[in-house]
Amino acid sequence: MQHKPVLYQEIIHALQPRNGGRYVDGTLGAGGHARGILEACTPDGLLLGLDVDPQALALARETLAPYEGRIHLVQASHITLSQQLAALKWDSIDGIVLDLGASSMQFDNAERGFSFMQDGPLDMRFGVNATMSAEEIVNTFEERELADIIFRYGEDRDSRKIAKAIVRNRPLRTTRELVAAIEQASPRHGDRVHPATQTFQALRIAVNDELAAVEKTLPQAVAALRSGGRCAVISFHSLEDRIVKEYFREQSKDIVNPPYERLYEEERKAVVKLVNKKPLTASEEEIKDNPRSRSAKLRVIEKI
């Protein structure tokens, strides 16, 4: 099954790739967005693709084989963006896309442990950089720590009950065993959302330190853009989207002290402008075709 990149047309429209430009896909996945960017910046546009997942990188190499002379693919996190650009001697870029979270390809592979719909080992690591698997967190963290993770990263109102059930049922080795413990604690009959959804999200974010990665990458992305260059970020849950929204908003404002007051140590002009005030979302047609796109939100900024 071919992986469908979310908000594909919107990303190409947002970045406006042009011949001779330099672009970054910081979350390469199977290479769907990257292929569209390379197509649009033919014949001389270049692309740097980053992903921590070796399986994703292998797939992307196949997808992007026709553009071989114009791509640099690196197994690395987008938090190393500045370092990767320095290695290529790229002093600025024309555009960057970040498609945050796990990809449908990772969810579809039961062995990765991302999905509560299939049985598999409790792993959830994007790549080799993650120091701890979901299994280690579930089986070694104290009940209070587990409840904090589920509440903070999953925003689940039943976090304490779920943490108690996890500890009571330890050791848990597979996704199915974890789902059974969660259903015991939080059956939620009649809910449209499965009771394990938020706990699985929370564990995945904790394992891969996803929110900190977004916070570290955004300033590097904005700094790397040339004047008129664009950054497009797709997020899939409110925690990520809030980080992106607040950072973009802060960078789009002048910081000026009022007369006779010194509220800010340093004054500066706005660094970026918001291309879309409200996030772009998937069309009904795309949602029907790719249900994962339902929760996707795209925010785009342009460097001033």
What's the whole-model pTM score? Answer: 0.94
Instruction: List, for residues 130-154, the tens digit of each pLDDT value.
Output: 889 999 999 999 999 999 999 999 9
Q: Which one of 174, 208, 242 terminates a domain?
A: 208
Same domain, 38 and 75: yes
Q: What is the pLDDT of residue 2?
A: 54
The answer to whether the beta carbons of residues 153 and 163 sit under 8 Å apart is: no
CATH of the domain at 280: 3.40.50.150
Residue 53's nearest CA partner among 123, 1, 2, 122 is 123
Q: Which one of 191, 208, 225 terminates a domain?
A: 208
Same domain, 62 and 95: yes
Within a domain: 232: yes
Bridge partners, residue 230, by sequence? 95, 302
Q: What is the pLDDT of residue 47?
A: 98
Same domain, 180 and 251: no
Instruction: List, for residues 77-133, the tens digit of each pLDDT value.
Output: 999 999 999 999 999 999 999 999 888 889 989 999 999 999 999 999 998 778 899
Same domain, 48 and 135: no
Same domain, 12 and 101: yes
Same domain, 276 and 149: no
Same domain, 199 and 250: no
In the numeric block, the tokens 């340093």 are attached to 266
Within a domain: 125: no
Asked whether residue 1 carries a pLDDT value surpassing 60, the answer given is no
Within a domain: 252: yes
Same domain, 143 and 72: no
What's the structural domain count of the chain?
2
**For the chain, how many helices (H) and strands (E)?**
13, 7
Asked whether residue 185 carries a pLDDT value surpassing 80, the answer given is yes
Across 7-16, 40-49, 243-252, 257-266, least confident range: 257-266
Pairing of strands 22-25, 297-303: unpaired
Which residue range is the domain that position 31 belongs to? 8-105+212-303
